[in-house]
Structure 1
Amino acid sequence: MTKLYVGNMPYSYNDDALKQLFAAYGDVVATVIIDRMTGRSKGFGFVEVSEEMAANAIAEMNGKDLEGRALVVNEARPMTDRPRTGFGGGSRGGFGGDRGGDRGGDRRGGAGGSGGFRNRY
Protein backbone atom coordinates (compact mmCIF):
# COMPACT_ATOMS: atom_id res chain seq x y z
CA MET A 1 0.00 0.00 0.00
CA THR A 2 1.10 3.54 -0.77
CA LYS A 3 -0.02 6.47 1.37
CA LEU A 4 -1.12 9.59 -0.49
CA TYR A 5 -1.51 13.09 0.93
CA VAL A 6 -4.76 14.78 -0.11
CA GLY A 7 -4.83 18.52 0.57
CA ASN A 8 -7.09 21.51 -0.06
CA MET A 9 -10.18 19.37 0.54
CA PRO A 10 -13.57 20.89 1.33
CA TYR A 11 -13.95 21.18 5.11
CA SER A 12 -17.22 19.25 4.88
CA TYR A 13 -15.39 16.04 3.89
CA ASN A 14 -15.08 13.15 6.34
CA ASP A 15 -13.41 9.71 6.10
CA ASP A 16 -16.34 8.18 4.18
CA ALA A 17 -16.52 10.99 1.62
CA LEU A 18 -12.76 10.78 1.01
CA LYS A 19 -12.97 6.99 0.67
CA GLN A 20 -15.77 7.31 -1.91
CA LEU A 21 -13.76 9.88 -3.84
CA PHE A 22 -10.89 7.40 -4.27
CA ALA A 23 -13.01 4.23 -4.56
CA ALA A 24 -12.22 3.95 -8.29
CA TYR A 25 -8.62 3.11 -7.34
CA GLY A 26 -9.45 -0.12 -5.53
CA ASP A 27 -9.71 -0.97 -1.87
CA VAL A 28 -8.66 2.21 -0.06
CA VAL A 29 -8.23 3.35 3.52
CA ALA A 30 -9.05 7.05 4.00
CA THR A 31 -8.40 9.30 6.98
CA VAL A 32 -9.38 12.97 7.21
CA ILE A 33 -7.38 14.95 9.77
CA ILE A 34 -9.66 16.59 12.34
CA ASP A 35 -8.86 19.68 14.41
CA ARG A 36 -9.02 18.66 18.08
CA MET A 37 -10.21 22.08 19.19
CA THR A 38 -13.10 22.53 16.76
CA GLY A 39 -13.90 18.95 15.73
CA ARG A 40 -13.87 20.09 12.08
CA SER A 41 -11.74 18.84 9.21
CA LYS A 42 -8.40 20.59 8.77
CA GLY A 43 -8.88 20.36 5.01
CA PHE A 44 -6.46 17.53 4.40
CA GLY A 45 -6.13 13.81 4.89
CA PHE A 46 -4.46 10.63 3.74
CA VAL A 47 -5.54 7.79 1.48
CA GLU A 48 -3.84 4.40 1.26
CA VAL A 49 -4.08 2.78 -2.18
CA SER A 50 -2.31 -0.16 -3.81
CA GLU A 51 1.13 0.59 -5.22
CA GLU A 52 -0.17 -0.21 -8.72
CA MET A 53 -2.93 2.42 -8.49
CA ALA A 54 -1.00 5.18 -6.67
CA ALA A 55 0.45 6.83 -9.80
CA ASN A 56 -2.96 6.79 -11.52
CA ALA A 57 -4.66 8.30 -8.47
CA ILE A 58 -2.08 11.11 -8.26
CA ALA A 59 -2.23 11.86 -12.00
CA GLU A 60 -6.04 11.89 -12.17
CA MET A 61 -6.94 13.49 -8.83
CA ASN A 62 -4.23 16.15 -8.39
CA GLY A 63 -5.75 19.49 -9.42
CA LYS A 64 -9.29 18.06 -9.63
CA ASP A 65 -11.95 20.66 -8.82
CA LEU A 66 -13.94 19.66 -5.75
CA GLU A 67 -16.58 22.12 -4.52
CA GLY A 68 -14.55 24.98 -5.99
CA ARG A 69 -11.24 23.81 -4.53
CA ALA A 70 -8.35 22.32 -6.52
CA LEU A 71 -7.25 19.12 -4.76
CA VAL A 72 -3.57 18.59 -4.05
CA VAL A 73 -2.66 14.89 -4.24
CA ASN A 74 0.86 13.53 -3.92
CA GLU A 75 2.75 10.73 -2.22
CA ALA A 76 2.85 11.31 1.52
CA ARG A 77 6.24 11.98 3.07
CA PRO A 78 7.29 10.62 6.45
CA MET A 79 6.94 13.06 9.35
CA THR A 80 10.72 13.08 9.89
CA ASP A 81 11.25 14.76 6.50
CA ARG A 82 9.36 17.89 7.53
CA PRO A 83 10.14 20.42 10.24
CA ARG A 84 7.74 20.29 13.16
CA THR A 85 5.30 23.16 13.50
CA GLY A 86 3.10 24.43 16.28
CA PHE A 87 4.08 24.63 19.92
CA GLY A 88 7.44 23.31 20.98
CA GLY A 89 10.81 24.15 22.40
CA GLY A 90 13.83 25.65 20.77
CA SER A 91 14.64 29.12 19.57
CA ARG A 92 12.37 30.34 16.79
CA GLY A 93 13.22 34.02 16.76
CA GLY A 94 10.93 36.82 17.83
CA PHE A 95 9.86 36.43 21.43
CA GLY A 96 9.93 32.63 21.32
CA GLY A 97 12.39 30.06 22.52
CA ASP A 98 14.96 30.96 25.13
CA ARG A 99 14.08 34.67 25.20
CA GLY A 100 10.39 34.12 25.94
CA GLY A 101 10.60 33.55 29.70
CA ASP A 102 9.45 37.01 30.72
CA ARG A 103 6.66 36.96 28.15
CA GLY A 104 5.05 33.70 29.21
CA GLY A 105 7.18 31.45 27.03
CA ASP A 106 7.92 29.01 29.83
CA ARG A 107 4.24 28.63 30.64
CA ARG A 108 3.32 28.07 26.99
CA GLY A 109 5.65 25.22 26.14
CA GLY A 110 8.53 27.41 25.03
CA ALA A 111 6.74 28.86 22.03
CA GLY A 112 6.51 32.30 23.59
CA GLY A 113 4.69 35.00 21.69
CA SER A 114 5.30 33.38 18.30
CA GLY A 115 3.32 30.18 18.95
CA GLY A 116 -0.15 31.63 18.51
CA PHE A 117 0.84 33.54 15.40
CA ARG A 118 2.37 30.51 13.67
CA ASN A 119 -0.61 28.28 14.38
CA ARG A 120 -2.90 30.37 12.18
CA TYR A 121 -1.20 29.11 9.01
Structure 2
Amino acid sequence: VFVGNLPYSIDDDGLKDIFKDYNIISAHVVRSRIDRRSKSFAFVELSDEEEQKKSLEGLKDVKSKGRVLVIKVALSDQVQPGDDTDRCF
Protein backbone atom coordinates (compact mmCIF):
# COMPACT_ATOMS: atom_id res chain seq x y z
CA VAL A 1 0.00 0.00 0.00
CA PHE A 2 1.30 3.46 -0.91
CA VAL A 3 0.83 6.13 1.76
CA GLY A 4 1.36 9.74 0.70
CA ASN A 5 1.14 13.22 2.24
CA LEU A 6 2.68 11.98 5.48
CA PRO A 7 3.86 14.49 8.06
CA TYR A 8 7.63 14.87 7.73
CA SER A 9 8.04 13.99 11.41
CA ILE A 10 6.45 10.53 11.19
CA ASP A 11 8.67 7.47 11.60
CA ASP A 12 8.13 3.76 10.88
CA ASP A 13 6.56 3.19 14.31
CA GLY A 14 4.11 6.04 13.77
CA LEU A 15 3.21 4.58 10.39
CA LYS A 16 2.65 1.16 11.95
CA ASP A 17 0.39 2.79 14.52
CA ILE A 18 -1.85 4.16 11.75
CA PHE A 19 -2.17 0.62 10.31
CA LYS A 20 -2.38 -1.16 13.70
CA ASP A 21 -5.85 -2.60 12.98
CA TYR A 22 -4.54 -4.47 9.92
CA ASN A 23 -2.15 -7.40 9.62
CA ILE A 24 1.12 -5.55 8.84
CA ILE A 25 4.13 -7.39 7.45
CA SER A 26 6.29 -4.28 7.07
CA ALA A 27 5.96 -0.49 7.06
CA HIS A 28 8.68 1.91 5.93
CA VAL A 29 8.78 5.68 5.52
CA VAL A 30 10.88 6.55 2.46
CA ARG A 31 13.80 8.79 3.40
CA SER A 32 16.44 10.72 1.51
CA ARG A 33 19.76 8.88 1.39
CA ILE A 34 21.59 12.17 1.74
CA ASP A 35 20.06 13.65 4.89
CA ARG A 36 17.67 10.85 6.02
CA ARG A 37 14.72 13.26 5.99
CA SER A 38 11.29 11.84 5.21
CA LYS A 39 10.10 12.23 1.64
CA SER A 40 6.52 12.38 2.99
CA PHE A 41 5.50 8.99 1.61
CA ALA A 42 5.77 5.36 2.63
CA PHE A 43 4.93 1.78 1.75
CA VAL A 44 3.08 -0.67 3.95
CA GLU A 45 3.01 -4.38 3.17
CA LEU A 46 -0.05 -6.19 4.50
CA SER A 47 -0.61 -9.93 4.87
CA ASP A 48 -3.01 -10.34 1.96
CA GLU A 49 -5.27 -8.62 -0.53
CA GLU A 50 -8.23 -8.70 1.87
CA GLU A 51 -6.27 -6.75 4.51
CA GLN A 52 -5.21 -4.32 1.79
CA LYS A 53 -8.83 -3.72 0.78
CA LYS A 54 -9.89 -3.28 4.41
CA SER A 55 -7.12 -0.74 5.02
CA LEU A 56 -7.99 1.26 1.90
CA GLU A 57 -11.60 1.53 3.04
CA GLY A 58 -10.95 1.87 6.77
CA LEU A 59 -8.31 4.58 6.45
CA LYS A 60 -10.09 6.69 3.85
CA ASP A 61 -9.71 10.38 4.80
CA VAL A 62 -7.57 9.55 7.85
CA LYS A 63 -5.44 12.42 9.17
CA SER A 64 -2.04 12.45 10.81
CA LYS A 65 -0.87 15.68 12.43
CA GLY A 66 -3.45 17.65 10.44
CA ARG A 67 -2.61 16.13 7.05
CA VAL A 68 -5.10 13.99 5.13
CA LEU A 69 -3.18 10.90 4.06
CA VAL A 70 -3.31 9.53 0.52
CA ILE A 71 -3.66 5.76 0.76
CA LYS A 72 -3.86 3.63 -2.38
CA VAL A 73 -2.65 0.41 -3.95
CA ALA A 74 1.09 0.63 -4.62
CA LEU A 75 2.12 0.17 -8.23
CA SER A 76 5.22 -1.79 -9.11
CA ASP A 77 6.85 1.22 -10.83
CA GLN A 78 6.63 3.42 -7.72
CA VAL A 79 9.78 4.06 -5.69
CA GLN A 80 10.36 1.32 -3.13
CA PRO A 81 12.28 1.62 0.14
CA GLY A 82 15.99 1.42 -0.55
CA ASP A 83 15.75 2.68 -4.13
CA ASP A 84 18.37 5.31 -4.81
CA THR A 85 16.32 8.19 -6.20
CA ASP A 86 18.62 10.90 -4.86
CA ARG A 87 21.33 10.20 -7.39
CA CYS A 88 19.28 10.86 -10.51
CA PHE A 89 20.88 13.32 -12.91
The TM-score by the shorter chain falls in which range? Answer: 0.7 to 0.9
Q: 5+ unaligned residues in a row in structure 1: which ranges?
A: 89-108, 110-121
Larger radius of gyration: 1
Q: What percentage of residue pairs aligned between the two structures are identical?
A: 38
Which runs of structure 1 show a deviation greater than 6 angstroms over 4 or more consecutive aligned residues?
A: none
Question: Is 2:15 the partner of 1:18?
Answer: yes
Greater relative CO, 1 or 2 (CA 8 Å, sep 6+): 2
Q: Kindly report which structure 2 residues correspond to 1:1-121, keeping only aligned pairs within 5 A, or say none.
A: 4-50=1-47, 51-79=49-77, 109=89
Is the helix fraction higher in 1 or 2?
A: 1
TM-score (norm 2): 0.79
* Structure with the larger strand share: 2
One-letter amino acid of the counterpart of residue 40, structure 1: R
Rounded to whole Å, the distance in 1 between the matches of 2:5 and 2:71 is 9
What amino acid is the match of 1:20? Answer: D
Relative to structure 1, is the Cα distance of residues 65 and 37 closer, same or farther in structure 2, using a 3 angstrom cutoff? Answer: same
